[in-house]
Structures are given as C-alpha cells and as structure tokens.
Amino acid sequence: MAIRIYTDTNADFSREQCEKYGVTCFRMCNIVEGKVIPADGAWSHYDPHAFYDMLREGKKKVTTTQVPAEEFRTAFTAAMEAGDSVIYVANALPLSSSVNTALAVARDLAATYPEGKIYCIDSKNVCGGQGMLVVLAAELRDAGKSAEEIVAAIEEKRAYVNQVVTVGSLDRLKKSGRVKGSAAFFGNLLGVKPILISDANGQNVPVCKVKGRNASLDKVVEMVKESVIDPTSQTVYIHHADCPETAEYLKDRLMELGFKNAEIGIISSVVGACIGPDAVGVWCYGKKVEMTV
C-alpha cells in the first residue's frame, strides 16, 4: 500500500518540485473576465510576468475559485481502488474552502471504501509555508513513516511555520477579504508598505507599516531573525509576485542569518490575484504561532 501526497495550487509547487517530491497538485482556477483558466504552480496557462502585468494594469476583472469537488473525487477514488492512502495538505481554511470540499468528498467515499484512508489536513498556511509542510510529508513518506505518523507530524509542525510578507499594496487583499485589520490600520497607507504575518489559523494579519520598500525588506529580515529557531538546520522559503530581484536580495540577507539553504518560488496566480503584484514573503520554522484574530 502506497501513500499518495497531494497539495493544491497555493503551495506554489513547480513542476520540478512535484516530480522531485512525488506530489500531485490539485488545481484551483482564475476567472479572467468570465473565462475560467486553470491555475497551477507550473504556470501552464500564463506567463507569470504577463499575469502580474495584467494585475498592475487593473483593466480586467480577475477572481479565483477553489479546487473543484470532482477533481478530488477522481483522485481519491483512484487511490482507494489501488488500495493506497491519501494525504492532502491543503491551503489554510480562512483563505480557501478547498479543504472542506475535500473532506466532504472523503466522507462520501467512505461508504464505498470503509477501509480507505483519506486525510485532508488544513495546513493553516499558504505559499512557502504550505509547501514546507508538503516537503515534510514527502520526506517522512520516503523515510517509511505511516500515514498516521505523517499526519501527526504535519499537525504538530504547522503551528511553528512563521510567515513575514510585505506587499506592494493592500488594495487586492482588502477587496478579496484575505486580510484582517482595523479601519485605523487601513486609514493611512500612502507611501508605506504593510507587513503581514499569518495567525494560528492561517489568516493574513497586518502587524505594522513601514515607510518605503527598502525599509519594508529590512523589517522582513528583522522579524525573521526574531522568530526563527535553529536556522542552520532548515531551508528558508522566499516567494514573490513578479519581483525576482527583490527575492534575490532577501535571499542574500537571509542567508547571513545562517540558514542551511534558501529556495525562491513564484506566488501562484490564485494567491497573486488576491495579494497583488510585487508582494514578497518569507517562510521558515520558528517560534510557535499562537495569535488569532
């Protein structure tokens, strides 16, 4: 019996990462002016720069969808027919209801496959944070751990994933409802760059405002330094929304903190449609995240 590991678009997994770790990504979609376009980490249907330039122009309405239920049903049924177990490491529930859709499909299939094992886990993270947990699941599977042991490890480690993100603008986050904050915080953002973290449930929370882009990047590095635990044993993940030079700058700064390695990824078109161009974020293991909003 094999263990099949799945994630979704918002883990920002490239085609190369899927192959390397033996992971399958469920696809969410973008809706551009009413046209449904599948979204994946391989950017099969859009050039990343062209997509983010479209958002910068602001002339087209771009929204998103969760993973379709039938996609879960097809994959889960195939796994059950083969006698395999399923672990789906999903995007944080406050940002997408895909995990609940997957759970509903799993419950429905339980009547036909009562011995089947389908685990749908709210990662309580997104982008690099979600991807870190997918990598952990794949490594534990390859080390011979059981599905139950892998699920327990993910549910323990997800609380220690720290996110620090700075965005070009909060406009798209506010419109999409993917950020929580007071009216006072949003009241005066002219010339400043907000810094966001992820709370214990995976909700984006603005925690401070910094004057200028360079200062915001310095603040990201400072906050990572304050929160990280044992950087020499881990990889730091840096994901960006079409600002690769910024990501490379952060990589150089973060490696000075002693990280074993750094990986750069592109924020998916689904998260990108919600967070907007020029956002950049850092994810690593650190202090336990306990704040909720």
DSSP 243: -
Q: How far apart are the first and last CA of the chain?
A: 41
Measured distance CA(123)–CA(11) in Å, rounded = 10
Q: Residue ranges of the domains in the chain?
A: 3-158, 159-285
Q: Are 14 and 134 in contact (CB under 8 A)?
A: no
pLDDT in tens, 233-283: 999 999 999 999 999 999 999 999 999 999 999 999 999 999 999 999 999
Residue 183, Cβ density class (10 Å: 0-12 exposed, 13-18 middle, ≥19 buried): exposed
Decide whether 3-158 matches 159-285 in CATH topology: no
Among 28-32, 191-195, 225-229, the minimum mean pLDDT is found in 191-195
CATH number for the domain whose boundaries are 3-158: 3.40.50.10170
What per-residue confidence (pLDDT) applies to 174?
73
Is 223 a residue whose pLDDT tops 60? yes
Average confidence (pLDDT) over 113-125: 97
Q: How would residue 185 be classed by pLDDT, with cut points 50, 70 and 90?
A: low
List all residues 6 or more positions away from 109 whose beta carbon is below 8 Å from its beta carbon. Answer: 73, 76, 77, 80, 116, 118
Task: Determine the residue type at 18.
Answer: C
For the full predicted model, state whether its pTM sits above 0.75. yes
Q: Give me the architecture of the 159-285 domain, per CATH.
A: 2-Layer Sandwich (3.30)
Mean pLDDT of the chain: 93
What pLDDT is recorded for position 165?
Answer: 96
Q: Say which DSSP state 13 is in.
A: -
Give 35-60 pLDDT, tens digit per residue: 999 998 889 999 999 999 999 999 99
